[in-house]
A and B are shown apart, each in its own frame.
Chain A
């Protein structure tokens, strides 16, 4: 098997908590994206038998077509990676991961004889325990039994993939997706004992948006997550300093108010005298401990909780700058300044924009973090948002797969190289 073959068939899989991004190297900049979820069909149901549905699990773009209008929908729809970690014995979750992986690879596997499988670079959370690596390799082997899809595979932690995509050997990666946030110092390799994981991401901002919508009289709509997410992304703002932003909103209501038409429906969401709440959405991502959120918690908004999964703590309420500092301070003192001087923000949860006219009070994620660090007396931190934060992990997979020679074998001690699974 030659190097040339490998380069042509490098394939990336980014198992995000909410979105699964995948595709071969020939896609260029943007991978395919489907939701990281699967739907278990009730095969005993009369309807599914009449309609001749003989699959157990549906993943990908077909899901909406198979949703039965049933009460137990929530139970049948499984998001296997809600926390970035799958328990060893969570069979349903692993089944879905297998199905998603198959879907991704089959969508691109060429039919001809020449094809001997992809060189797969998979990326999972940096807190994933070793058995998740073993399990994924096992899945690739199992898939090959039906049809050759994977020639060799390697698995890298998501923050490392980001660092690779940016070609920065020494940095701190803050990867914030939907379900969680990983803070990971990197000095050639991830500094594993300095990793901090937060049990919150874009999903927590959805929960707050839901409350805001309820208060604004859109209680019915607030029940649908996809709708809430859309509203959040459109109207949410990150305040440079929350109190100032709220004051600004109160004295300049015309600048902050919004009216948002939901595409494909007749619904219009209008925030007028409640427009100041737009700033709460962005603040919550960085600093859910701000006293202003207390009233939402007392009224029943779920509070991001500390959880322990395997050996890893996921902090719920720790603010973002505290998390970055705690993580960096676990590294050697000599290394610390270098880690502050290159902080990379990646993941969809950092792709906030500043609308025209609000530059005075609203900021992007990098400036917000800089502000918070300043408040904690960390000066001179240099922070940047990576280009297309949602796709940077997948891009890193491409760069890595392209670079690692095809005959470099997987080593557990270093967690690098190609595992032969054919």
Chain B
């Protein structure tokens, strides 16, 4: 939190603001070693700066995207995957040297994609590439959140 403030992010209640980025502290573990930050909207570059800061401060940062309906279909198409008809489906795939974990929930027409980000993924720009791949380049709002280790 101090690190975020030092980097010029503003806080408003649980909200975190910086550039085009709108995010929120959603939950924290009791021991305070992990928090969930929910990113409500951000330009890819602002997302990258946030991640770059977080990967320096935290043991790990997990990035999650959850998509529904058309968004899910589009993302699946972008990643070149076929959505199954039934059941819950889990797989892993590599993209831009990042291992993505993909979970598909056909009954609900939904898709969750996640990966663990470190300074390598941020520096190589993979973070932005994945972001654009999943959201199709547009700046569509998505339910995107991340879990992160706090202590370092």
Interface size class of A (residues with CB under 8 A): 20 to 34
Binds B, one of A108-116, A131-139, A268-276, A320-328: A108-116
Which residue of A has the minimal Cβ distance to B144?
A: A28
Cα distance A7–B114 when bound, in Å? 14
Residues of B within 8 A of A108 (CB): 88, 105
The reply to whether the CB of A213 lies closer than 8 angstroms to some CB of chain B is: no
User: Is A107 positioned at the interface, with any CB of B under 8 Å from its CB?
Assistant: yes
Flag B31-50 by CB within 8 Å of A: 1 or 0 each.
10010101010000000000
A24 — nearest CB in chain B belongs to which residue? B112
Q: Which of B27, B64, B108, B110 touches A402 (beta carbons < 8 Å)?
A: B27
A403 to B36, CA, bound (A): 11
Docked-complex contact A107 and B14, CB < 8 angstroms: no
**Given A26-B64, A167-B14, A111:B147 Cβ within 8 A:** no
* A107 contacts B107, C-beta separation under 8 Å: yes
A26, A107, A109, A402, most chain B CB atoms within 10 A: A26
Given A27-B143, A28-B143, A108-B105, verify A403-B90 contact (CB < 8 Å): no
Tell me if A337 is interfacial: C-beta within 8 Å of chain B: no
Contacts of A403 in B (CB 8 A): 27-30
Answer whether residue B55 sits at the interface, using C-beta atoms and an 8 A cutoff: no
**Within residues 38 to 73 of chain B, which ones have a CB less than 8 A from any CB in chain A?**
38, 40, 64, 66
Q: Is B26 on the interface with A (CB-CB < 8 A)?
A: yes
Kindly state the separation between the CA atoms of A320 and B103 in the bound complex, as whole angstroms: 44
Q: List chain A residues, Cβ under 8 A from B87.
A: 111
B interface: dominant SS: strand
Contacts of A404 in B (CB 8 A): 30
A405 to B144 Cα, complex, angstroms:
24
CB neighbours of B108 from chain A (8 A)? 32, 107
By the criterion CB–CB under 8 Å, are B29 and A3 in contact? yes
Which residues of chain A in 1-33 are interfacial with respect to chain B, using CB atoms and an 8 Å cutoff? Answer: 3, 7, 25-30, 32
The residue of chain A having its C-beta at the shortest distance from the C-beta of B87 within the complex is: A111
Which of chain B's residues have a CB closer than 8 A to the CB of A111?
87-90
B64 touches A28 (CB 8 A): yes
B147/A110 in contact, CB under 8 A: no
Which residues of A sit under 8 angstroms from B89, Cβ to Cβ?
Answer: 111
Decide yes or no whether A373 CB sits under 8 A from chain B: no
Residues of B at under 8 Å CB distance from A?
A: 14, 26-31, 34, 36, 38, 40, 64, 66, 87-90, 103, 105, 107-108, 110, 112, 114, 143-145, 147
Apart from A27-B143, A28-B144, what 8 extra A-B contacts exist at CB < 8 Å? A26-B145, A32-B110, A109-B88, A167-B14, A402-B27, A402-B28, A403-B30, A405-B30
Q: What are the 5 A-B residue pairs with the smallest beta carbon separation, nearest first?
A: A28-B143, A402-B27, A399-B27, A28-B145, A26-B112
